[in-house]
Structures are given as C-alpha cells and as structure tokens.
Amino acid sequence: QVQVVESGGGSVQAGGSLRLDCTASGFDVYHYAMGWFRQAPGKEREGVSCMTGSRSGGNTYYLDSVKGRFTISKDNAKNTLYLQMNSLKPEDTAMYYCAAAACGLGIIRKADFGSWGQGTQVTVSS
C-alpha cells in the first residue's frame, strides 16, 4: 500500500526554521518524483517544492515565494523526503502535505497514484 506520513510541523516566530519529514511506504522515494504541498485556510492546495526521481536527475523545483528559503531533499536509506524551511514568514502558515508528484518547470502537482498523508501544521507568527 502506497502511503506517506508527514511530521515536523509546529509553531514558530517569523524568521524561524522548521524541517518537515515525510516517510514513505509501499514505494521508493528514490525512484519517484516527490513533492511538498500546502493548503492555507480558505485557499486551494498549492505545490511548494518537488524533486524528480533518480532517472530524471533529482532536479528540484520551488514555488517562487519560497525560493532561497526552502530546500527539498531525500534520504534514500530512510525512504524519507524532507523540506527544510528557513526564514519563515506568516504567509507560510498552512497545513503541509507530501505526496508522489509530477514536476517540471512551473509544474508541481500530485502524481496519479498514492494518496495524501494526514498533513502537518505549520504556523508562523509575526
């Protein structure tokens, strides 16, 4: 069964940092593109960052508003995806989700297989 579990969210002040973890089961994050998504109250879910699979070179893509602040990475041994978030802003407040993804220039979307995890809440106060 393809499954992901997110963790690592919390409450921080603006300028602070958090690292989100996404542990996968039922498939290898090494081989598949993986992405981070977020949904703020009253807004649509949006793609935040994505890393392609090994055969596509592990390229990374970011939402413009998080470029230079967020870093996506994978630990293949732990089958885990990470999102290091620095210089957090109040507008980063949202529920964050990971999922197998499809990504490219200007494209970060959930893949057609697998389901969403339960998400992890990030709250940034000013």
Handedness of CA 112, 115, 17, 82 (dihedral sign): negative
pLDDT-based confidence at residue 104 (cuts at 50, 70, 90): confident
Q: Is residue 121 predicted with pLDDT exceeding 90?
A: yes
pLDDT-based confidence at residue 113 (cuts at 50, 70, 90): confident
Report the number of secondary-structure helices (H) and strands (E) in the chain. Answer: 0, 11
- pLDDT at residue 90 in the model: 97
Selection from 4, 30, 6 nearest residue 85 by Cα: 6
- What would the mean pLDDT of 1-26 be, rounded to a whole number? 96
Q: Is residue 9 predicted with pLDDT exceeding 90?
A: yes
